[in-house]
Amino acid sequence: MSDMDDYDIDELQERIDDLESRLDDCDIMSDRYDRIQSEIDMLQARLDDIDDAAELYDDINDELYGLYDDDLYIDRDEDW
């Protein structure tokens, strides 16, 4: 995961936290509450997408490293 992804995650989480604090000041059945909750849901879905992509990226790296480690690695100490 890149530094930009970390920044995106932090920014999204801060926005979610801010919106959740605003929910405390709203009536549950109001339009404002619904709009805020919708935005929180959208941001949380984006956060989940980033997390899923990071896990997939890690899984791919683990697989590639496993291939490299098991099949292609040459122990240079043994060759000398």
> Is 79 a domain residue?
no
What mean pLDDT is predicted for residues 25-44?
94
User: Among candidates 34, 41, 55, 44, which has minimal Cα distance to 9?
Assistant: 44
Q: Is residue 78 part of a domain?
A: no
pLDDT at 10 over 70: yes
Q: Classify residue 52: in a domain, yes or no.
A: yes
Structural domain containing residue 46: 3-73
Residue 36 lies in a domain: yes
| 18 within a domain of the structure (yes/no) | yes
Predicted confidence at residue 78, as pLDDT, reads 57
Rg (CA), the chain: 22
Is residue 80 in a domain? Answer: no
pLDDT of residue 23: 92
Residue 50 belongs to a domain: yes
- Tally of domains within the chain: 1
